[in-house]
Amino acid sequence: MWAKARLIKFLLHTTCHIRFLLLGGFMIFRFIAFGLIGLSLEVTLKAIWNSITTKSIELKGEGSLVLFPVYGFIAIFYPILFHQIKDLEWYIRGGIYAFLFLLVEFLLCKLFDRVHIHALAFGKDSFFRLPLWFFIGLGIERIFPMVLTASRYGI
């Protein structure tokens, strides 16, 4: 009985939260902001990685516009997730972010492979990105309030 009441409360809160985000929260601005932040971070990190692996100082990075909506959807799903885990310790939240990002990356790779889009590569080296996902997830906790403020005031 208690679990059923908790589930109903969660679903009601989540649907209210999604409705607020989509209707009253300047969602297009947030979607575009997170899409641009994600693409910028992708290009920057790939440039640094390519520079390290090729021992070159050119810092050439690449990104895929196919991933723009994926990064943009962080604006929708992050507040729902954060509301559920905000009371946990930072290292547990970081672990949850790392796991979920890796899971999404895996599922997107499978989906993109089916439609012959090569925007992501998932392999054994993907698990080496867990620390990166850990810190990116915690970084979103810092960035999200700034994007909310900017979207409300049109900055």
Among residues 37, 141, 147, the alpha carbon closest in space to that of 90 is found at 141
- Domain span at residue 137? 2-153
How many Å apart are CA 101 and CA 88, to the nearest integer? 18
**Residue 135 vs residue 128, higher pLDDT:** 135
Q: In sequence order, which residues have a C-beta less than 8 Å from that of residue 62 and are 6 or more positions away? A: 43, 46
Confidence of residue 65 (pLDDT cuts 50, 70, 90): confident
What's the domain count of the chain? 1
Confidence of residue 15 (pLDDT cuts 50, 70, 90): low
Among residues 19, 32, 16, 108, the alpha carbon closest in space to that of 75 is found at 32
Residue in the structure block whose two tokens are 């620390």: 131
**100-119: average pLDDT:** 85
